[in-house]
């Protein structure tokens, strides 16, 4: 795709500290089996975002922080021309194989959500499904979402809310992990209407936000949830690795995750409702 000179983002990708931070993020999301989370737990979110933004044949679509293509693949099924970009190449490779198995053609490109290697106004639709929310510097990431979307184009986001299950999962793990570097913002803030409104500002119109619930019944019970996330979800795996030499704190985190899942269960089979914020907007 074409590229052009553009202003430097707020987060400087040439800064050694930023490079080290992004390297840690890249490694964390490569841990475990995030594609299993995307496939077995949150697969329903991608089609929701594709439908909400009206993706269709001929649209040029960018999926930011695409992972293994939870949004990119459903978008490509509509006939859109799709680029799936992510910081972690291991996830992109899984997505590429899955798309090829369906006979779908997408571009899979390693890219930092805070410094996208694309021209201004290059895409008709810019999407991110529980992806860009994990970029450490929210304003830099939001600036990039807006920059690469053409005037009149659509921006669509799905983010976990602070009050919902995944937001509470991160709150539960917080006492067990090292504090983030200065300037790094909490991912579930993207699930707050006022935060997203402030991030996008007057650069968009027709901004719509809606809290929805993803029904999740993949685990059987609370312990099943904990074991699945210990095995598959990078942030949870990283939390446990940091406690490897502390069996008491490991046991405490074990108990806290089971307690969270039990409190969040809506039925005897461990089913839960995971709240998320759906955001759609038009680029001015």
Question: Class of the 16-217+273-283 domain?
Answer: alpha beta
10-22 residue pLDDT tens: 456 568 999 999 9
pLDDT (mean) for 195-208: 98
pLDDT of residue 59: 98
Q: Does the structure show a pLDDT above 80 at 4? A: no
Degrees, nearest 5: CA angle 194-200-205: 100
Q: What are the pLDDT digits (tens) for 248-267? A: 999 999 999 999 999 999 98
Residue 66 CB partners (closer than 8 Å, separation 6+): 72, 84, 85, 86, 91, 92, 95, 108, 128, 131
Task: List the single range of 21-35, 99-113, 142-156, 264-278 with lowest mean pLDDT.
Answer: 264-278
- Provide the angle, in degrees to the nearest 10, between the axes of the packed helices 234-242 and 222-232: 90
Average of pLDDT values for 211-216?
A: 98
81-97 average pLDDT score: 98
Per-residue pLDDT, averaged over 70-77, amounts to 98
**Domain spans, the chain:** 16-217+273-283
User: What is the rounded average pLDDT of the residues 202-231?
Assistant: 97
């Amino acid at each position: 795709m074409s590229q052009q000179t553009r202003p430097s983002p707020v987060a400087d990708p040439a800064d050694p500290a930023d490079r080290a931070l992004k390297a840690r993020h890249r490694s964390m999301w490569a841990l475990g089996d995030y594609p299993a989370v995307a496939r077995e737990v949150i697969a329903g979110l991608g089609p929701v975002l594709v439908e909400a933004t009206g993706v269709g044949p001929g649209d040029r679509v960018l999926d930011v922080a695409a992972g293994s293509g939870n949004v990119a693949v459903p978008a490509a099924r509509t006939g859109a021309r799709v680029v799936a970009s992510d910081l972690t190449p291991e996830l992109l490779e899984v997505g590429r194989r899955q798309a090829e198995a369906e006979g779908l053609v997408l571009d899979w490109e390693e890219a930092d959500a805070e410094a996208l290697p694309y021209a201004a106004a290059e895409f008709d639709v810019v999407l991110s499904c529980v992806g860009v929310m994990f970029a450490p510097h929210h304003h830099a990431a939001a600036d990039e979402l807006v920059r690469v979307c053409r005037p009149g184009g659509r921006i669509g986001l799905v983010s976990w809310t602070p009050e919902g299950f995944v937001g509470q999962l991160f709150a539960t793990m917080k006492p067990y992990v090292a504090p983030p570097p200065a300037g790094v913002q909490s991912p579930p803030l993207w699930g707050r209407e006022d935060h997203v409104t402030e991030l996008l500002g007057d650069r968009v119109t027709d901004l719509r936000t809606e809290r929805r619930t993803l029904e999740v019944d993949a685990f059987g019970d609370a312990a099943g949830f904990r074991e699945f996330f210990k095995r598959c979800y990078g942030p949870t795996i990283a939390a446990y690795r940091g406690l490897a030499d502390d069996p008491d704190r490991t046991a405490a985190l074990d108990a806290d995750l089971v307690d969270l899942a039990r409190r969040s269960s809506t039925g005897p089979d461990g089913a839960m409702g995971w709240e998320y914020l759906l955001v759609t907007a038009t680029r001015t």
